[in-house]
Amino acid sequence: MERPTRFEHTRFLGDKRTQLVYDLDTWEDEAVIDEIVAAEVGLCFGPDTLDEARNRGYTPAVPGRSRRHRKPRA
In tens, the pLDDT along 31-71 reads 999 999 999 999 999 999 999 999 999 999 998 877 777 77
- Identify whether 24 is part of a domain: yes
In the chain, count H helices and then E strands: 2, 4
Burial class (CB in 10 A: 0-12, 13-18, 19+), 73: exposed
In a domain, 1, yes or no: no
Total number of domains constituting the chain? 1
pLDDT tens digits, one per residue of 8-24: 999 999 999 999 999 99
Q: Could you check whether the bond before residue 72 is cis, i.e. omega within 30 degrees of 0?
A: no
In a domain, 51, yes or no: yes
Report the alpha-carbon distance of residue 54 to residue 23 in Å, rounded: 13
Parent domain of 14: 8-60
Res. 26: pLDDT tops 90: yes
Q: Does residue 67 lie within any of the structural domains?
A: no
